[in-house]
Amino acid sequence: MRAIIFSAFGILLTACLNISAAQASMQDDVNQAVAIIQRFQEIPEKAIPDSVLRNAKGLAILTVTKAGFIGSARGGSGIVIARTDKGWSAPSAIGTGGLGVGFQAGVEITEFVIVLNTPEAVNAFSKDGNVTLGADLSVAAGPVGRTAEGSVTLQAATYTYSRSQGLFAGISLEGTVIATRDDANAEYYGKRVAAKDILAGKVRPPASERKLAQVLAKF
């Protein structure tokens, strides 16, 4: 029985990672990041407060697919960007994946925006390794809506937000592991580049990133 359960977990994880890999083109992630930011800001009463985005030192934006039956598996990809002295940096590729327990049937796709509130949060994503939210960085569900605009105070190194099936919310992602996707960065930029150089603004973004830059320019 245990072998069957572990086999099921393996199949679920492989399925999620395969879905993620199919969507893991860096340009697809950049395009998706633009759409996610726009969707998060469409409804001011449920949006990320502008003051949170204006004060952000960086943003991590991901799409995560979770599938479940005798347990659950999730996989996702996205980008992280940082604010520099000259504006927003080029994007660096990131991904996440993992297993869960308990009966959870079906497939769910969730969009996440993680607001990096401190330089230390950006540095954690600059090390070409894994970042564990809640361990490497403090994390809290972010304030939501225009009513929070004038009363936002810094509570954690990162604020997290989610959108699933049209529902918006601040959400805690404590325990989530996010990794740098070095191969995706190399393919996107045409050479091996370090995440720390990308997020420091030392890597020129390609022309295909222009729309993302335009969307972020207001913050």
**pLDDT by residue (tens digit) across 20-42?**
443 348 999 999 999 999 988 88
The DSSP bridge pattern shows strands 87-88 and 158-164 to be unpaired
For 95-134, the pLDDT digits (tens) are: 987 655 444 455 678 899 999 999 999 999 998 778 888 8
Query: In the prediction, which pLDDT does 30 show?
Result: 96
Sequence spans of domains, the chain = 2-216
* Distance in angstroms between the alpha carbons of the first and the last residue of the chain: 53
Residue 204, judged by CB atoms within 10 A of its CB (0-12, 13-18, 19+), counts as exposed
208: phi > 0 → left, psi -120 to 50 → alpha, else beta; which?
alpha
Q: For tokens 């950006």, name the residue.
A: 122
Q: Is the pTM of this model over 0.85?
A: no
Residue type, 27: Q
In whole angstroms, what is the distance from residue 144 CA to residue 47 CA?
6
Distance CA(216)–CA(151), nearest Å, equals 23
**pLDDT tens across 68-83, in order?**
545 455 688 999 999 9
What percentage of the chain carries pLDDT values higher than 70? Answer: 73
What is the pLDDT at residue 140? Answer: 85
DSSP 3-state assignment of 114?
Answer: strand
Query: Rounded distance, CA 199 to CA 73, Å?
Result: 30
CA-to-CA distance for 38 and 106, rounded, in angstroms?
Answer: 27
Between 54 and 109, the more confident residue is 54
Q: Is the pLDDT of residue 153 over 80?
A: no
pLDDT at 169 over 90: no
Q: Mean pLDDT across the chain, nearest whole number?
A: 79
- The mean pLDDT of 179-200, rounded to a whole number, is 95
Q: Does the structure show a pLDDT above 60 at 164?
A: yes
